[in-house]
Amino acid sequence: MSALPPINDAHRRQLGPIATPDRLLLGPGPSNAHPTVLQALARTPIGHLDPLYVELMGEVQELLRYAWQTDNRLTIPMSGTGSAAMEATLANTIEPGDKVLVAVKGYFGLRLADMAGRYRAEVATIERPWGEAFSLEEIEAALAHHRPAILAMVHAETSTGIRQPMEGIGDLCRKYDCLLLLDTVTSLGAVPLYLDAWKVDLAYSCSQKGLSCPPGLGPFTMGPRAEAKLASRSDKVPNWYLDVSLLNQYWGSDRVYHHTAPVNMNFGMREALRLLAEEGLEAVWDRHRQNAERLWRGLESLGLELHAPEHLRLPTLTTVRIPEGVDGKAFTLHLLNKHGIEVGGGLGALAGKVWRIGLMGYNSRAENVDRLLNLFETELPAFRPASQKQPVAAA
Ligand code: PLP
């Protein structure tokens, strides 16, 4: 037997077991996972073709349909984060040269446009400033002008805190014969969503926000019109991992191996969806709304300005304007280091201009709102320029 080469220990580290602190995640996501979701994740894995696991897959699919209010057959959690599910919606439906119209009103609209281009779509965009939503008239004018195969938009824009009103958009997409693709990453399990009533053909989301799971799965759903477009493709879906026709052989009745499913993540997803169904959508949506309103009133009473107009404001994500002269980053670092609370900063056009406060899933609770408001009241004044330090609450 020939001698093995010596082991290179240059990268060998002797580490202690992981010891991360408990943080309260009140930023744009991830949000804290529900304690029973964490317990589900810690269970011993079972095989991804075990009949018990196969049964669990069906339960997850059924509860995702409930969460989204859809009857779509092709409703599955993609192995990957929200961006993987986002990419799946585009990869499966775009054929090279297809026109994709993206309604951009923030950072994630730009990501959709970027991804669509990578699948060789002819991408057109319409834009609104970061803090506004589209009107039906604007959407109709753009559909009539561009005549796209797909209209893609973000329901809950995490970069701005804006909710896109959806009523009527699906009808326009039918009128102009295009698919409607909707990002529901910051709305699923928290903000009213009616995919079938809104005539949405494709949607995706994530596990780490309204669903109170850690990041790792990207719920995906595809309606019959999108399925028909997939079935009529002349070429293969150019992404093997995300090809729904292959994935459906595992998630559908055949149960053919495609990739080794992240079984524990799906244990967590099942528990998260079980909790959602137990509470009920109406109660869940109402809880998010009430806690967000408590936050908004509290911030306003401290003299802080909210970036999004109230009628378009997301209950999951509040954008707060950073007051003149305050170093927003220094304050969020202080919250994190001194109090273990994460609050987000601005992205893209809103970088340095806003804080982003998330109240999603398990974290949408009055005690979290009050704890954060108390810190804004007592500790923000130290970060204001001397000229502004006097009574915050009186502003
Ligand atoms: N879309 C929106 C609106 C998001 O907020 C995010 C992430 O926060 C994504 C897409 C991408 O999801 P992920 O980061 O899970 O890949």
Structural domains in the chain, sorted by start = 35-278 (3.40.640.10), 280-388 (3.90.1150.10)
How many whole angstroms separate alpha carbon 199 and alpha carbon 173?
A: 8
Amino acid 390: pLDDT: 55
In the beta sheet, which residues pair with residue 181? 152, 202
Mean pLDDT of 333-351: 97
The torsion defined by the Cα of 293, 296, 299 and 305, in degrees rounded to 10, comes to: -170
CA 146–ligand 1 middle distance (angstroms)? 27
Amino acid 189: pLDDT: 98
Q: How many CA atoms lie within 13 A of 204 on its CB side?
A: 26
Amino acid 1: pLDDT: 63
75 lines ligand 1 (CB under 6 A): no
Mean pLDDT of 115-122: 98
How many whole angstroms separate alpha carbon 329 and alpha carbon 344?
A: 9
How many whole angstroms separate alpha carbon 132 and alpha carbon 160?
A: 8
395: pLDDT strictly greater than 90: no
215 lines ligand 1 (CB under 6 A): yes
Question: Per-residue pLDDT tens for 287-321?
Answer: 999 999 999 999 999 999 999 999 999 999 999 99
Q: Where are the beta strands (DSSP E) in 223-378?
A: 317-321, 341-342, 344-345, 354-358
154 lines ligand 1 (CB under 6 A): yes
Q: Do residues 112 and 82 touch, judged by C-beta distance below 8 A?
A: no
CA 167–ligand 1 middle distance (angstroms)? 23
Residue of 79, 110, 155, 186 to mutate, ligand 1, most atoms within 8 A of C-beta:
186
230 pLDDT band, cuts 50/70/90, is very high
